[in-house]
C-alpha cells in the first residue's frame, strides 16, 4: 500500500513539474497555455464524472492546477428519492456537513477535487495529452511566425552541419534548415558561427514546420542592399530586377524616381563603401549595378558592361538580340565562364548572340601618297602644322586648319574631298 501511495504521489509531482516547465514554453503565451490545461483537465473530468458543467479548473501562478466541484445542498429525502437528483449538481446536507457544518439547504458548495482522485492512469493520460497539445501549439506558432516572413533576412547560429544541409537555431532556439544548394559554393561554416540568410520557404511536413534558409536567392541580395543603402530602404531607389550566379557574379538593375539621385552611385557608395560590405557577405561575388531603362537596346548595352557594344539588332518577337562588338570586347561581353552574357540575358529577358564587328578600319595613309592629286606646297603646309596623314587632316575642323595654315577654306575643302575619296 505504501508503494502505491508513493507512486501516485510521484506521478502527481511529475505532473505539477510539467506545468511549471510549460509556463516558460517558447512561442506560447500564458493565456493560451492555461486554456490548453483547462481543456485537457475538462476532458478527464468528463471521462470520470460524465460532465464538466459544474467544475471549475484553475491554474495558479506556480502552474499547479486546482479543480473545484460546485454543487447545491439538498435535503436527504431529495437526495435519496427524487429522480431530479444529480450527484454532479447536488450534494446532500449530510455530505455537505462533512465538509463544513455551517452549510445550510440551498447553499452552494465548492469542494476541491484532488489530483490523486483521478488515479495513476488518468494522471499519465493528462501528462501525455498536455505534452502533445503544447508541442502541436509550438509547431503552429513557429509556422505562423515565419510563414509571412519569406524573403526577410534573419540571423542565426550554426548548430549542426551535415553533408547535405545545416541546422541553424534562431534567437528563440527554433530549428531552421539550410540545404547545401542554398549555400554559396565558397561558404564555410563551423558549429557556433553566426550567419545571415533569407527565409526561402516555409512549409509543414508530417505536422512539423520546416523553415528553409537561403544565401543564394535574389531576395537575400535585395535585402542586403536595403540594409546598406538607405535610399533603397526609404523607397527613393527601386531595385527593378536581380539575377545571380551565387559566388560568381550578380547584376542588379536599379532606378531612381528623383532625378537628383544617381541610383548606381548611391548603391556603390563613395569609393565602393556601401557595396564592399555586400560583396564580403557574398564571399567576393562580383556585383554589377546597372541603371534600368525601358529602352531594350540601351538596357542590353548596359547589361553587358564592362564590354563596349558597337551595335545591337533586336528581334522582339523571338526575344533575341544580335550584339556586335570589336574583337577585343568579345571576351569581356562573355565573361569568365560565360557568367556575364548569361546574366545579361536573364536580366534583359533576351537571348543574346555575340558577333564580331567585321567592319575593319582602313589603315591611315601618308599625305605624300597624294602627291599626284594635291600640289606639293599644300602638302608641305599641312605637314608643317603636324598633319602628316590623311586622317590627321580629316579629323581637324576647317576653322582650325584655316587659322593654322596659309590655306584658304576652299582649298581645304578640295583637299578633304580627295582624302575622303580614298577611304570611301
pLDDT tens per residue across all 424 residues of the chain: 433 444 444 444 455 555 555 555 555 667 777 777 788 788 878 888 888 888 888 876 666 778 888 888 888 877 777 778 888 888 888 888 888 888 888 888 888 887 777 777 777 777 777 777 778 878 888 898 899 899 999 999 999 999 999 999 998 889 999 999 999 999 999 999 999 999 999 999 888 899 999 999 999 999 999 999 999 999 999 999 999 999 999 999 999 988 889 999 999 999 889 999 999 999 999 999 999 999 999 999 999 988 999 889 999 899 999 999 888 888 899 988 889 999 999 999 999 999 887 654 556 788 888 888 888 988 888 888 778 888 888 888 888 888 888 888 899 899 888 888 877 6
Q: Which CATH architecture has domain 2-139?
A: 2-Layer Sandwich (3.30)
pLDDT digits (tens, 9 = 90+) for 15-56: 555 555 555 555 566 777 777 778 878 887 888 888 888 888
Residue 219 three-state SS = helix
Neighbours of 222 (CB within 10 A): 17
**Superfamily of structural domain 218-356:** K homology (KH) domain (3.30.300.20)
From residue 382, alpha-carbon distances to 173, 319, 415 in Å are 84, 52, 10
H-type alpha helices, 260-408: 263-268, 273-281, 296-303, 330-334, 339-348, 376-384, 390-395, 398-404
255: Cα separation from own chain's centroid:
21
Tell how strand 90-92 and strand 108-113 pair up.
unpaired
CATH fold group of domain 157-214:
OB fold (Dihydrolipoamide Acetyltransferase, E2P) (2.40.50)
Residue 29, pLDDT score: 66
Residue 162 three-state SS = coil
Q: What is the mean pLDDT of the chain?
A: 85
Burial zone of 283 (CB within 10 Å; 0-12 exposed, 13-18 middle, 19+ buried): middle
Tell how strand 175-179 and strand 165-169 pair up.
antiparallel
**8 Å CB contact between 15 and 123:** yes
Tell how strand 351-356 and strand 320-325 pair up.
parallel
pTM: 0.63
**8 Å CB contact between 235 and 192:** no
DSSP 270-306: GGGHHHHHHHHHTTS-EEEEEE--S-HHHHHHHHTTT
C-alpha–C-alpha distance, residues 176 and 165, integer Å: 10
Amino acid at each position: 500500500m505504501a508503494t502505491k501511495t508513493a507512486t501516485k504521489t510521484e506521478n502527481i509531482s511529475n505532473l505539477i513539474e510539467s506545468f511549471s516547465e510549460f509556463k516558460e514554453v517558447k512561442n506560447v503565451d500564458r493565456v493560451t497555455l492555461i486554456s490548453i490545461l483547462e481543456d485537457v483537465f475538462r476532458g478527464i473530468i468528463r471521462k470520470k464524472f460524465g460532465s464538466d458543467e459544474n467544475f471549475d479548473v484553475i491554474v495558479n501562478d506556480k502552474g499547479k492546477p486546482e479543480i473545484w466541484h460546485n454543487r447545491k445542498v439538498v435535503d436527504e429525502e431529495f437526495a435519496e428519492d427524487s429522480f431530479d437528483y444529480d450527484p454532479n449538481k447536488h450534494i446532500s446536507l449530510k455530505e455537505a456537513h462533512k465538509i463544513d457544518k455551517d452549510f445550510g439547504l440551498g447553499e452552494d458548495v465548492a469542494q476541491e477535487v484532488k489530483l490523486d482522485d483521478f488515479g495513476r492512469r488518468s494522471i499519465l493520460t493528462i501528462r501525455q495529452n498536455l505534452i502533445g497539445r503544447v508541442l502541436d501549439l509550438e509547431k503552429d506558432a513557429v509556422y505562423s511566425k515565419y510563414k509571412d516572413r519569406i524573403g526577410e533576412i534573419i540571423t542565426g547560429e550554426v548548430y549542426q552541419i551535415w553533408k547535405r544541409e545545416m541546422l541553424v537555431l534562431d534567437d528563440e532556439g527554433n530549428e531552421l534548415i539550410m540545404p547545401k544548394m542554398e549555400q554559396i559554393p565558397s561558404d564555410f561554416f563551423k558549429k557556433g558561427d553566426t550567419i545571415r540568410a533569407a527565409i526561402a520557404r516555409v512549409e509543414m511536413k508530417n505536422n512539423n514546420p520546416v523553415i528553409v534558409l537561403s544565401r543564394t536567392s535574389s531576395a537575400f541580395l535585395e535585402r542586403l542592399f536595403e540594409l546598406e543603402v538607405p535610399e533603397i530602404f526609404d523607397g527613393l531607389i527601386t531595385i527593378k530586377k536581380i539575377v545571380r550566379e551565387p559566388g560568381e557574379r550578380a547584376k542588379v538593375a536599379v532606378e531612381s524616381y528623383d532625378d537628383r539621385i544617381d541610383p548606381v552611385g548611391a548603391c556603390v557608395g563613395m569609393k565602393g563603401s556601401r557595396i564592399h560590405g555586400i560583396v564580403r557577405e557574398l564571399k567576393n561575388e562580383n556585383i554589377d549595378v546597372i541603371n534600368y531603362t525601358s529602352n531594350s537596346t540601351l538596357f542590353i548595352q548596359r547589361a553587358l558592361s564592362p564590354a563596349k557594344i558597337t551595335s545591337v539588332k533586336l528581334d522582339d518577337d523571338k526575344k533575341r538580340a544580335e550584339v556586335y562588338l570589336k574583337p577585343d570586347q568579345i571576351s569581356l561581353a562573355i565573361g569568365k565562364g560565360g557568367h556575364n552574357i548569361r546574366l545579361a540575358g536573364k536580366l534583359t529577358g533576351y537571348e543574346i548572340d555575340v558577333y564580331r564587328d567585321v567592319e575593319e578600319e582602313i589603315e591611315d595613309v601618308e599625305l605624300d601618297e597624294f602627291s599626284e592629286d594635291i600640289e606639293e606646297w599644300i602638302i608641305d603646309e599641312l605637314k608643317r602644322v603636324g598633319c602628316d596623314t590623311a586622317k590627321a587632316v580629316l579629323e581637324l575642323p576647317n576653322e582650325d586648319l584655316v587659322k593654322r595654315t596659309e590655306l584658304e577654306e576652299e582649298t581645304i575643302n578640295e583637299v578633304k574631298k580627295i582624302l575622303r575619296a580614298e577611304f570611301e
